Amino acid sequence: MSELVLDHANHVVFVTPVVCDEDARKYLPGILGSRGVDPAPAMALLAEFEPIIRAVDESTYPVARMEALARIEMRDARAWPVLATALVLCSPIWTEDKDFFGTGVPTWTSDRVALCLNAADRE
């Protein structure tokens, strides 16, 4: 996945809700550490992604909070900022998380994103 982002950063806009960006920095070291994985490489990758993946300001997506919660609350209510961001920006979600499937927003798994981006490179 990281190579895919890095390879296409010059012609694709990648976004995330600011809360997800903050959560990754806050919780990832503990999660990886509890699994016996050194968090340093993941944190370095996050730092490398910082200029590439744009954090969408928190003021952007709350307008779609209720709609997002209605669509995802039964699966994972904490994920509402991601869905709300996609709704506001009319954007698909790149995810392997099945909680987003069936929410009415296009979802793309990494293998599908790779096919699409690599096909565009060949054209």
Confidence bin at 109 (pLDDT 50/70/90): very high
State which H helix or E strand residue 18 sits in.
helix 18-34
Confidence band of 121 (pLDDT split at 50, 70, 90): low
Query: What share of the chain has pLDDT > 90, as a percent?
Result: 59
CA 84, CA 5: separation in Å to the nearest integer? 22
pLDDT for 120 beyond 70: no
Cα 41–93–59 angle (5° rounding)? 90
Q: How many residues belong to the chain?
A: 123
Tens digit of pLDDT for each residue in 13-56? Answer: 899 888 777 888 888 899 999 999 999 998 998 888 888 888 89
Query: Do residues 95 and 107 lie in contact, with contact meaning Cβ atoms separated by under 8 Å?
Result: yes
Identify whether the C-beta of residue 60 lies closer than 8 Å to the C-beta of residue 90.
no
Q: What angle do CA 115, 1, 123 make, to 5 degrees?
A: 30
Question: Which domains can be identified in the chain, with CATH numbers?
Answer: 2-122 (3.40.50)
Tell me the pLDDT of the chain averaged across its residues. 90
Range 51-74 average pLDDT: 92
Query: What pTM did the predictor assign?
Result: 0.82
At residue 56, the 3 state secondary structure works out as strand
